[in-house]
Amino acid sequence: MSSAKLNVAAIQQTCHSDKAASLATTERLVRQAVEQGAELVVLQELHATLYFCQTEDTEVYELAEPIPGPTSERLANLAKELGIVLVGSIFERRMNGVYHNTAVVFEKDGSIAGIYRKMHIPDDPGFYEKFYFTPGDANFNDGSSGFSPIETSVGKLGVLVCWDQWYPEAARLMALAGAEVLIYPTAIGWDITDDAGERERQLEAWVTVQRGHAVANNLPVIAPNRIGTEPDPSGNSDGIRFWGNSFICGPQGEFLARADDSSESILSVTFDRTRTESVRRIWPYLRDRRIDAYGDIIKRVRD
């Protein structure tokens, strides 16, 4: 790459039921990030709509779009106008009955550099994603399976999505395939009835596991999350309060920027591209891996 420095930004925003309103907010914040010097901008998971997975409702499939489609074209035009690499998120309609939670990476010329379809799909109260999303299987630009970085003009991006962030296997495979940064667009929050202690434990677990991926793979991490309280459309719960706390950390897990739990935020950071190599020379985890002893990792349960 031509420069040892890379200016990146993560966007933390509130979302709306109206796609146009959500995307207008997104565009405004992206433009501000570029004014601050960003060359790579990362948006949160499903940023064009409310988080609709609190209930199971077949009408919600009407929100899904093909790629290319209206939202991807709007984001592509934004990336081209501003001359940035942009990571967006789309509820993808791949074909009749097959829908994905998809991160789309747009190049500086507005072309699609690649897509990543969320691999790990949760199914928990308030997060009924298995009803909506088929697990991912391939990278859009080269057909490779599983966890493959997306090549861009600003480097190889290890794009994962939300629930993927709890799995060290996903981060490791991205690192082994040459990812230069791990990116986790996210939509995660508290059940409103959770007490303060439980909220703190959940938030710190979320932050800690991703910083752990940075440390274990000597890679920076960009993790944008949404904010705001979104009601349960069924009325069966009090809804979700998304906890924000978007952050960017370096290859030793050090915080470079962190947002609060309620404010619209642009996190702007300059990465030193040489740090991963420097850190790997003194903490050579990849050198010392015992690949001859890891065969059981592909078993569901080790007997």
Six-digit token string for 259: 């947002």
Contacts of 25 (CB under 8 A, 6+ apart): 13, 14, 15, 16, 264
Per the annotation, the verdict on 45 as an active-site residue is yes
Query: Would you say 281 and 251 are in contact if contact means Cβ atoms under 8 Å apart?
Result: no
Catalytic residue among 118, 129, 180, 230: 118
Give me the tens of pLDDT residue by residue for the chain, a chain 303 residues long: 458 999 999 999 999 999 999 999 999 999 999 999 999 999 999 999 999 999 999 999 999 999 999 999 999 999 999 999 999 999 999 999 999 999 999 999 999 999 999 999 999 999 999 999 999 985 555 545 579 999 999 999 999 999 999 999 999 999 999 999 999 999 999 999 999 999 999 999 999 999 999 999 999 999 999 999 999 999 888 899 999 999 999 999 999 999 999 999 999 999 999 999 999 999 999 999 999 999 999 999 988
pLDDT (tens digit per residue) in 36-78: 999 999 999 999 999 999 999 999 999 999 999 999 999 999 9
SS3 121: coil
Inside any domain, residue 39: yes
Q: State the catalytic residue, choosing from 45, 92, 107, 230.
A: 45
Residue 118 designated active-site: yes
Confidence (pLDDT) at 1: 44
Residue 31 lies in a domain: yes
User: Of 15, 65, 92, 162, which is the active-site residue?
Assistant: 162
**Is residue 50, in this structure, part of any structural domain at all?**
yes
300 belongs to a structural domain? no
Range of the domain at 16: 8-287
41 falls within a domain: yes
Domain total in the chain = 1
Q: Is residue 292 part of a domain?
A: no
Task: Specify if 302 maps to a domain.
Answer: no
Q: Can you give the CATH number for the domain in which 121 is found?
A: 3.60.110.10
Edge-to-edge strand ranges of the sheet holding 112-117? 112-117, 98-106, 85-95, 40-42, 5-12, 265-272
> Does residue 298 lie in a domain region?
no
pTM, to two decimals? 0.95
DSSP 268-289: EEEEETTHHHHHHHHS-TTTT-
